[in-house]
Structure 1
Amino acid sequence: MSRNIKYIYPNKLSIFRFFMDSEGVRRNPIPFHKRYFDKLGDSFSLKIGFSKHLILSRDNDIAQHILLKNQKNYHKSKFQSVYLAKYLGNGLLTVDGDFWLKQRRLIQPAFHKQKMNQLVENMNQTIVSELDDLLEEKPLDLFPVMSQLAFNVVAKSLFELSISEEKLHRIKFILEEVQNFLIKEIRLPHKALWFSLSGQVKKHLELAEENNHIIQEIIEYRLASKIEINDLLNMLLETRYEDTGEGMSLKQLIDEIKILFIAGHETTANALTFTLYLLGKNPEIQQKVFDEIFTIESQTEDIVEQLQKMTYTNAVLNESMRLYPPAWITDRQNMEDDCVGNYNIKSGTLIGVSFYELHRNPKYWENPEDFDPERFLGERKKHSMQYFYPFGAGPRMCIGAGFAIYEMCLTISHVVKKYHITSAKNEIQFNPLITLKPVRVEVSFSKR
C-alpha cells in the first residue's frame, strides 16, 4: 500500500477516557467494551503514542477478514507469541508462519474424527468416574468440579496408563500457577521490573521447567516400554513430517503436550460450567435434553452413534458458547498495510475481536441476551453459524474442537440423565482472563 494513502481508522476512543477507565478495564474489560461499542460503533480505535494503533471490534466482516479472507497478513500478537511462549514453549498456540503450518499439518491427523472415535470409550469412562460422587442436594461451586473433570479427561486421553495421580496433580498445579502469573504480567506491564527483581519471573520459569521434566519422564517411559496404547501420546509419537519422514523432537513434543493440556481443559471446563448453569435456570430446556438422551439410548448402545444423534444437546451447547464463549477474545497484528472494510490501516496495528460482544451484537442476533437453543436447529442454524466463533475460525481454528464437543456432550448427557439441575443464583459471574472463567457459579444436583 502506498505511503501516500491516508490511514483511516474507526471512531477513536480518547486516550484520556482509556486511562480514566484503565483500572476498571484491568479488573473486567467486558462492561467497558460494551459501553465503548454502544457509543462509538461496532469497531473503535485507540492511538497510543505517535504511531501505535489498536482496534477493538465486534464486526463480523472484520473477524472474517483477519481470520479467514486475509489471514496470511495477520499474525498473533506478542501476548500469545511472547508471553505465552515464555512458559509454554513453541507449540501450535504460540507460533506463527511456516513453522506453525508445519506443526499443524503434522498434528492434524491425530485429531481426525476417526482417531477421536477411538478415544471415546476411554473418555466416557473417565467422565463417569469423575461424576460418580457429585455433592447432592446442596449448592455446589461448579467450576472446580468441571475443571478437575476436564483436566483428567485430557490427561487420560493423552497418557491413558502412563501417569500417576501425584504427577497429574503436579502438572495441574503448575499450569494453574503459571497461568495466574501470566495474567498479572499481561495486565500489569508497569510492574514488569518488580516481577523480575522480586524473583517471581524466575520462580514461574522454574515451575515451567519442572513441568517439562515431568512430561519428558512420561514420554521416555513410554518409548522405553515399547507398549502401544490407544491414546493421544501414541498418535503424536507416530506422526511424521512430510518432508523428512521424521517425528517431532522430544522438546517439540513436550511443548505441544503442554498446549494440549492448557487449550484442552480450561476452555472445556468453562463451557461445561456455563452450560449446566443455564440448564439449571431453564428446566424446560433441561427436560428436552433428558428426553433426547433417553430416546437416543433406547436406539443404540454405541457411544459414537449416540453422540452423532445429540442434535438438541449440541444446540444447547452452542447457544451456551454463544452467550459465554470460552475463548472470549482473539487478537491479530497485520504484517503489511491493509484495507479492512472502510478502513485503511497501517502495518503493526493490533486488532482485537471480542467474540463475547460479536455473539451478542443485535445486528446479527435477534434477542441476543436470551438463551435460545433453537437458534442452532434447522434453518435458523444456517444463519447463526455465520456469526459464531466458539473455536475461532480459519486455518487457526482450534484443532481439538471435535474432541471438546464429544467430551462436553458426553458430560452433559451423563449429568442430565442422572440429576435434576437447579441454579442457585440468578446472576452469573465470570472473570475474563485468557479465557472466560466462571466465578462462584453454584448449582444443586438432585437425583432423578
Structure 2
Amino acid sequence: MSENKKYNYPNRLSILRFFLDAEGVRKNPIPFHKRYFEKFGDSFSLKIGNSKHIILSRDNEIAQYILQKNQKNYHKSRFQSVYLSKYLGHGLLTVDGDFWLKQRRLIQPAFHKQKMNQLVENMNRTIVSELDCLVEEESVDLFPVMSKLAFNVVAKSLFELSISEEKLNRIKFIIEEVQNFLIKEIRLPHKAWWFSLSGQVKKHLKLAQENNLIIKEIIEERTASRKEVNDLLNMLLETRYEYTGEGMSIQQLIDEIKIIFIAGHETTANALTFTFYLLGKYPEVQEKVFQEIIEIESTTNDLVEQLQKMTYLNAVLNESMRLYPPAWITDRQNVADDTIGQFYIKKGTLIGVSFYELHRNPKYWENPNEFNPERFLGEQKKHSMQYFYPFGAGPRMCIGTGFAIYEMCLTLSYIVKKYVIKSSKTEIEFNPLITLKPVGAEVLFSKR
C-alpha cells in the first residue's frame, strides 16, 4: 500500500511557497501562519522530502488530543529535546517519558499552592523594591523594566540570600545570549555547518557551562552552610525520589534551576508588559482594577487572601494572555502512527499548535481580536477556559503556573494602586521568539 493511500494529512502548503516565504517566516512567522490558516483552514501540512511531515494547527480538538487525551503518544520535538537540552541540560522542559515523569513527581510538591503561599511575602518585597523608583511622567519602554523585575523575583525566590548582584547579572546575560543564538539555530537549520565552523556553537556551549558553574557554586555554598532558608532552592534540596529516598544530583538540580530561570522569567515579563499596555489603552478597565484592589485591601491585610479575591484582575490578566500568549506555540512528535481528527498520520510527524492563532480563532471566540476581560468572568469563563492555553495543558502544563500568577497579580496591583498608566502607542508590536516578546511597548506612569 502506498504512503499516500495509507496516511492522510491536512491541506498542504507547497514546498515552493514555504521556501519563498522562509526568510519572512524567520523574522516573524505569525503573519504567514495567519495567511495559511485563512487559506487552508484550521490545520495545514507541509511535506519535506519523501517522508517528513509537518502539521501546524489552531484546532482545539488537535490541541486537546496531543496535550491531554493521547499525550503519551506525543513527545517533545527535536527542537526542544535536542536544541534546548544542548544548552539547558535535561530538566523538565527538555526531557520526556519515564524520566520526565520521575522529575515531575519529584518537583511538583515544591510548587504546591501551600509552598507558593510561603514565598508571597518575599516575592512582594522584591517587587516593591524593584518598582520603587519607576520613571514618572515620561514615556518608558516597559519590557526591560518588567524583564529585570521578573528575573529578580525568580532569582530571589530561588536563592533568597545566596546570590550577589554580579552573579545575578551574569546569569541573566548568559541566558539572553544563549536564547538569542538558539533562535538562529532553530530557524536556520541549513546554516548549522556555519554556526559550527565559525565557532558560534562552541562559544555558546562555553557560556552555558559557565552558567552551570555559577549555579553549582551557589548550591554548594548553601549545602555547606546548612542554613534553613525559605526559598525554592531549599524546597528543591529537600525533595526526595519516592523509591530511593535520595535527593537530586547536583547536575540535575542545576538543570532544573536553569529551566526555572528560563521558563519563569521571560514569559512573566512578556505577560506583564502586554497587560500594562492594555490597561493603558483601556482606562475604564484600569479603573475597575483599581477599585477592586482598594475594596479588597479594605477587607484584609493578608497578601494571600488579597490575591485569592482578585477576580477582575485575574480576568484582565487572562484576557491579556489570550490575545498575547507568552508561550505562543508548542510542538510535539508522535511516537507511533495515529488517527488525529480526520487525519491518519505517520509516526514522527511534527505537530505545531499555535496558541496565538487558537486564542483568536473565530470558531471559538466572538470578536476574537477585541480586548474584553468579561470573557473570563461568571458563566462566560466556563466557555472561555475550554480554548485557553496560557500555560499549556495536560500533564506537561507549566509547573510554575501558581508562582507566575501570584507574581503578576502582586506586580499589577502594586503599580495600579500607585499610578495611572497611559499607553504611548495605539498598537503594540511583538517578536515571536521562543516566547512572544513585546517590542516598543511604551507607557507613561502618572502618580495617582
The normalised TM-score by structure 2 is 0.99
TM-aligned CA deviation for residue 236 of structure 1: 0.2
**CA shift digits 1:65-107 (9 cap, x unpaired):** 0000000000000100000000000000000000000000000
2:414 is aligned to 414
1:295 aligns with 2:301: no
- CA distance, structure 2, for counterparts of residue 33 and residue 4 of structure 1: 25
TM-aligned CA deviation for residue 411 of structure 1: 0.3
**SS of equivalent to 1:137:** coil
Where do 1:163-178 residues align within 5 Å? 163-178=163-178
TM-aligned CA deviation for residue 443 of structure 1: 0.4
Where do 1:194-205 residues align within 5 Å? 194-205=194-205
2:250 is aligned to 250
TM-aligned CA deviation for residue 427 of structure 1: 1.1
**SS of equivalent to 1:45:** strand
**SS of equivalent to 1:162:** coil
- CA distance, structure 1, for counterparts of residue 148 and residue 279 of structure 2: 20
1:314 is aligned to 314
**SS of equivalent to 1:233:** helix
Q: CA RMSD in A?
A: 1.1
2:358 is aligned to 358
**SS of equivalent to 1:299:** coil
**SS of equivalent to 2:163:** coil
**SS of equivalent to 1:301:** coil
- CA distance, structure 2, for counterparts of residue 194 and residue 9 of structure 1: 34
Percent of residue pairs identical: 83
Where do 1:104-115 residues align within 5 Å? 104-115=104-115
1:431 is aligned to 431
- CA distance, structure 1, for counterparts of residue 270 and residue 376 of structure 2: 20
- CA distance, structure 1, for counterparts of residue 137 and residue 333 of structure 2: 49
**SS of equivalent to 1:414:** helix
TM-aligned CA deviation for residue 224 of structure 1: 0.4
**CA shift digits 1:307-330 (9 cap, x unpaired):** 000000000000000000000000
1:122 aligns with 2:135: no
Where do 1:280-429 residues align within 5 Å? 280-429=280-429
**SS of equivalent to 1:305:** helix
**CA shift digits 1:212-234 (9 cap, x unpaired):** 00000000000000001000000
Distance 1:206 1:4, change over 3 A: closer
- CA distance, structure 1, for counterparts of residue 66 and residue 202 of structure 2: 36
- CA distance, structure 1, for counterparts of residue 438 and residue 382 of structure 2: 29
- CA distance, structure 2, for counterparts of residue 197 and residue 39 of structure 1: 40
TM-aligned CA deviation for residue 22 of structure 1: 0.8
TM-aligned CA deviation for residue 191 of structure 1: 1.4
2:10 is aligned to 10
Where do 1:5-44 residues align within 5 Å? 6-44=6-44
Aligned residues: 448
TM-aligned CA deviation for residue 3 of structure 1: 8.1
1:221 aligns with 2:221: yes
**SS of equivalent to 2:353:** strand
**SS of equivalent to 1:245:** coil
- CA distance, structure 1, for counterparts of residue 157 and residue 4 of structure 2: 55
TM-aligned CA deviation for residue 188 of structure 1: 1.2
TM-aligned CA deviation for residue 194 of structure 1: 1.1
1:94 is aligned to 94
- Uncovered stretches (5+) of structure 2, i.e. residues with no partner: none
1:260 is aligned to 260
2:206 is aligned to 206
- State the AA in 2 paired with 1:399: I
- CA distance, structure 2, for counterparts of residue 61 and residue 16 of structure 1: 29
- State the AA in 2 paired with 1:150: A
- State the AA in 2 paired with 1:6: K
- CA distance, structure 2, for counterparts of residue 376 and residue 229 of structure 1: 37
TM-aligned CA deviation for residue 27 of structure 1: 0.4
TM-aligned CA deviation for residue 4 of structure 1: 10
**SS of equivalent to 1:336:** coil
**SS of equivalent to 2:230:** coil
Distance 1:424 1:5, change over 3 A: same
1:79 is aligned to 79
2:55 is aligned to 55
Runs of 4+ aligned structure 1 residues displaced above 3 Å come to 2-5
- State the AA in 1 paired with 2:349: T
- CA distance, structure 1, for counterparts of residue 203 and residue 48 of structure 2: 32
2:134 is aligned to 134
- State the AA in 1 paired with 2:290: F
- CA distance, structure 2, for counterparts of residue 324 and residue 357 of structure 1: 10
**SS of equivalent to 2:365:** coil
- State the AA in 1 paired with 2:352: G
TM-aligned CA deviation for residue 119 of structure 1: 0.1
- Uncovered stretches (5+) of structure 1, i.e. residues with no partner: none
- State the AA in 1 paired with 2:129: S
- CA distance, structure 2, for counterparts of residue 445 and residue 152 of structure 1: 22
- CA distance, structure 1, for counterparts of residue 201 and residue 30 of structure 2: 28
- CA distance, structure 2, for counterparts of residue 311 and residue 223 of structure 1: 40
- CA distance, structure 2, for counterparts of residue 3 and residue 52 of structure 1: 12
Distance 1:4 1:19, change over 3 A: closer
**CA shift digits 1:12-41 (9 cap, x unpaired):** 111111111111111000000000000100
The normalised TM-score by structure 1 is 0.99
Q: Which range moved further: 16-25 or 149-158?
A: 16-25
- CA distance, structure 2, for counterparts of residue 200 and residue 17 of structure 1: 30
- State the AA in 2 paired with 1:34: K
- State the AA in 2 paired with 1:14: S
**SS of equivalent to 2:380:** helix
- CA distance, structure 2, for counterparts of residue 113 and residue 418 of structure 1: 28
**CA shift digits 1:217-268 (9 cap, x unpaired):** 0000000000010000000000000110000000000000000000000000
**SS of equivalent to 1:258:** helix
- CA distance, structure 1, for counterparts of residue 332 and residue 82 of structure 2: 13
